[in-house]
Amino acid sequence: MSPTPNRAELTVDAVVFDLDGTLVDSMMCAPQAYADTLRALGGQNLSVNDVLAEWHIGPTSVVLEHFLGRPVGADDLACFAQRFEAAVAVVRPFDGVVAMLDAMARDERRLAVYTTATKWAAELMLAVAGLQDRFSSIVGGDDVTSPKPAPDGLELACQQLGVVPSSACYVGDAAVDLECAKAAGALPIHAAWGGRPVVPGNHLVAHCPLEIVELLRR
């Protein structure tokens, strides 16, 4: 694992974001779609917290297979898609996210999203939230073989932005995001505004979206 970059030696040309719980307030509705799908498919009766504890393991098909204990097919994924579309219709950006992205655009930083969610789900949520045109690259969990904390998705996002990971930061709300950043050699920043517990460790912490802008300008 690469060491955390030294802020004094780092020039940040690009910012890559996690999606759920970082850019958009979806940490209840998206897991609820999984829970509803699992019940509809004859699986376990799970709570939102049950899903949240496990959904970092991969994209939709991996999560459904994990909880159902069997391979999933097109009908299973269609069942999820129907419930997911309905659930995320109310998704909105966290307060301050739009202003943060505006400021980063003025600072000419390249922007991307890397999420464990599938690319289809990520693009849908970004569109519902009105953020679909803000990012030059969107990498989903189905675009890579190894999920977070492996660096593959973050490295792919940086490649698509035309930067090396050491000149990027990765902003996320969970420990797995920060571990992913460190594995890639990017600067980890904890998005602490989504209501999840503070993640201990050697990384920067932003308590509101605009705080990231100031951290990167110092």
Which residues are marked as active site?
A: 18
Q: Please, what is the end-to-end C-alpha distance for the chain in angstroms?
A: 26
Backbone angles phi, psi at 135, to 5 degrees: -125, 140
Q: Which amino acid is at 98?
A: V
Task: Find residue 191's DSSP bridge partners.
Answer: 206
Burial class of residue 146 in the structure, from the number of CB atoms within 10 Å of its CB (0-12 exposed, 13-18 middle, 19+ buried): exposed
Is there a contact between 193 and 78 (Cβ–Cβ < 8 Å)? no
d(CA 129, CA 169): 23
d(CA 120, CA 72): 17
